[in-house]
Amino acid sequence: MRDADTLPDDDDELFEHHRIVADPKQSLLRIDKFLMDRLPNVTRTKIQTGIHDGFVRVNDKAIKPNYKIHPNDVITVSLPEPPRDTDIIPENIPLNIVFEDEHLLVINKPAGMVVHPAYQNWNGTVVNALAYHFQNLPQMQGNEGRPGLVHRIDKDTSGLLVIAKDEISLSGLAKQFFDHSIERTYNALVWGVPEPAAGTIHVNVGRSLKDRRVTVAFPNGDMGRHAITHYKMLRDFRYVSLIECKLETGRTHQIRAHMKYIGHPLFNDATYGGDQILKGTTFSKYKQFVENCFEAIPRQALHAKTLGFIHPVTKQFLQFDSALPQDFMDVLDKWENYVKYN
């Protein structure tokens, strides 16, 4: 089961997690039969598929379908099984489709759009749009309420999302996210100039004990989950920097929490303190300029720019790139002009 002190991953949130410890007197029993008795509402076929795809591990090792449970074995199960929010209202919301075939599609999500319905955001989401545009797709078992989703990005983050259109693609993509083999890069505008200009942040992140809505770093490694972000500076604007972040893991708010941890919060990220003047002076001309920049990009300056994965059916490697949205480009132009003439 989930550790109560950690946030679900961006990727892991769409999995159902179980941790089972076999009894000291457990008799030898095939893994699928053992799990059938302990996992409610999960078919034997789904268990066997999960074993084959590597979602079932014993003592932290992948096992074969004919493995027999031994006393004290520790079994972890992570099946692609999103929560069942079944009342999805189809809405005629345009989708910016970058790629589509019969198995999957890749979309470029605008900032301000929630990925799936949840508390206080029951409509206007990507899922509502998918329900309208792809209402004739076969229902994927275990994916009720979040059709095709294998990952997500924050409401106010723009950029690329891949959507599965059939169960084979859902399982294949989910496995790649689970294994952290998906290639993802983000562009972010951050306060300050990172030193060194490129590096790796390998620090646990998890839910804050003071504010459950916020992800924080746990540098001692005693809490949270391991998280790895590779970053490099692309442009130096003296007071802020454009950086590229490459994710190895996909924890909730990972980039936002990691960049704050190293002292460079994302520009205009209200949740993580980036909506204040953190670099430069406080004289009125500069203050007015920064406030104008905040108005130009009224969200955290974060864009999911590239996405690469192996097509779960054709086995071809696909890679996509998306241009920075207009608000992001506008704020970069403002900073470029400011440091040029001041």
Half-sphere exposure for 204 (CA within 13 Å, toward CB): 14
* C-beta atoms surrounding 312 within 10 Å: 20
- Where does residue 58 rank: exposed (0-12), middle (13-18), buried (19+ CB within 10 A)? buried
Please give the structure tokens belonging to residue 25.
């007197």
Catalytic-residue membership of 87: no
Please give the structure tokens belonging to residue 162.
């891949």
Quickly list H helices, 216-323.
254-261, 284-296
The DSSP line for 158-198 is: EEEEEEESSHHHHHHHHHHHHTT-SEEEEEEEEES--SSSE
Name the β-bridge partners of 149: 163
Quickly list H helices, the chain.
31-36, 44-52, 126-133, 167-178, 254-261, 284-296, 326-341
The two beta strands, 104-109 and 68-69, are: unpaired
Please give the structure tokens belonging to residue 7.
């946030």
Half-sphere exposure for 280 (CA within 13 Å, toward CB): 22
Instruction: Select which of 154, 156, 269, 275 is catalytic.
Output: 154
Active site residues: 154
